[in-house]
């Protein structure tokens, strides 16, 4: 009886702590969602109401319509174009990272070659460098190549990931070499073995890497703000920041609406990949 009581006390305490942390994380997002349906007067009201008194879609209509009226001028907001830019850059970059990371990880895990240990340690060492350290040389390189204000400057520098290569190497190490030898005996080419034997066995790792990469690129602000110069080429995070700088401060309903629309693809990706994430965490716990 005492053990059962202690168990329920432990479970209650754990879920209470988790609920508190969940509320701390969720309240700002709920405030943004609620504010996107409010008028500016209600947003700045000293009395906070999570549920809008007079729900309105003016913020969404304004931002999706591509313009906003301020007290000073009429500013064009190509939000849909910027949204499309973010989708294009995020999808292409994620696909390239999955391709390069799986190829490099496969090579490091299944082949022996001269300098393998040094190259692997060098790759791992690059993970210790903060991105801010590489901004200036990367910018100079993009400038010399003539890629400033182009999507190439966003996609190609992010097309490889040291973390992704390391993750996929660890995933491929779990594949028995006997499977590869059997495929070679059957006459399969090396690339076919990678594609038909290796990749299907590491789908979980690919899903996790793709999820992390997509969310990272979608939310990236620093690097796009360095290389992009025209509003039509902006991604959504950069567009929302530019909107805040150019429209009147009373237009927070549009800012909130843009933030809600920005979060939808990330939520969909997390929901779609959540099962794979949980399964991989459970497998890691069982192996540990």
Instruction: Report DSSP letters for 172-225, one per residue.
Output: HTTS-HHHHHHHHHTT--HHHIIIIIIGGGGHHHHHHHHHHHHHHHHH--HHHH
Q: C-alpha distances in angstroms, 36 versus 79, 236, 253, 260?
A: 15, 17, 5, 8
Domain that includes residue 145, residue range: 79-263
Q: Is residue 13 part of a domain?
A: no
Pick the closest to residue 103 from 208, 181, 193, 217 (CA basis): 193
Write down the pLDDT at residue 39: 85
Q: Is residue 247 part of a domain?
A: yes
Q: Is residue 231 part of a domain?
A: yes
Write down the pLDDT at residue 70: 40
The answer for 161, left when phi > 0, alpha when psi is -120 to 50, beta otherwise, is beta
Q: Is residue 8 part of a domain?
A: no
Q: Is residue 286 part of a domain?
A: no
Q: Is residue 125 part of a domain?
A: yes
**Where does the pLDDT of residue 73 fall: very low under 50, low under 70, confident under 90, or very high at 90 and above?**
very low
Q: Is residue 115 part of a domain?
A: yes
Write the CATH number for 172.
1.10.3720.10
Which helix (H) or strand (E) segment holds residue 69: the answer is: strand 67-69
Interval 106-111 mean pLDDT: 95
Pick the closest to residue 162 from 194, 122, 199 (CA basis): 122
Distance CA 109, CA 103 (A): 10
Cβ atoms within 10 Å of 2's Cβ, excluding its own: 6
Instruction: Indicate the number of domains in the chain.
Output: 1
Q: Is residue 92 part of a domain?
A: yes
pTM: 0.84
3-class secondary structure, 74: strand
Interval 165-187 mean pLDDT: 93
* pLDDT 10s digits, 240-254: 888 776 655 557 888
Residues 68 and 247: beta-carbon distance below 8 Å: yes
* pLDDT 10s digits, 15-58: 899 999 988 888 889 989 998 898 888 888 887 788 888 888 88
């Amino acid at each position: 009886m005492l053990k059962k009581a202690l168990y329920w006390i432990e479970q209650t305490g754990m879920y209470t702590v988790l609920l508190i942390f969940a509320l701390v994380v969720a309240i700002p997002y709920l405030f943004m969602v609620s504010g996107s349906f409010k008028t500016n007067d209600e947003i700045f009201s000293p009395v906070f109401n999570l549920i809008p008194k007079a729900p309105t879609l003016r913020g969404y209509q304004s931002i999706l319509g591509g313009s906003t009226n301020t007290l000073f001028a009429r500013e064009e907001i190509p939000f849909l174009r910027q949204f499309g830019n973010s989708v294009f850059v995020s999808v292409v970059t994620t696909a390239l990272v999955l391709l390069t990371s799986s190829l490099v990880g496969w090579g490091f895990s299944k082949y022996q070659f001269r300098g393998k240990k040094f190259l692997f340690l060098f790759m791992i060492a690059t993970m210790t460098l903060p991105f801010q350290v590489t901004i200036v040389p990367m910018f100079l390189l993009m400038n010399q190549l003539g890629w400033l204000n182009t999507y190439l400057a966003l996609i190609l520098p992010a097309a490889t990931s040291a973390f992704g290569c390391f993750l996929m190497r660890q995933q491929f190490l779990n594949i028995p070499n006997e499977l590869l030898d059997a495929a070679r005996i059957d006459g399969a080419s090396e690339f076919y073995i990678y594609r038909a034997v290796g990749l299907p066995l590491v789908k979980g790792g690919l899903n996790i890497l793709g999820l992390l990469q997509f969310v990272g690129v979608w939310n990236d602000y620093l690097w796009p703000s360095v290389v992009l110069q025209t509003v039509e080429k902006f991604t959504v995070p950069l567009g929302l920041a530019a909107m805040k700088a150019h429209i009147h401060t009373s237009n927070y309903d549009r800012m909130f609406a843009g933030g809600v629309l920005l979060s939808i693809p990330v939520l969909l990706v997390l929901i779609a990949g959540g099962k794979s994430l949980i399964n991989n965490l459970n497998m890691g716990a069982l192996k540990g």
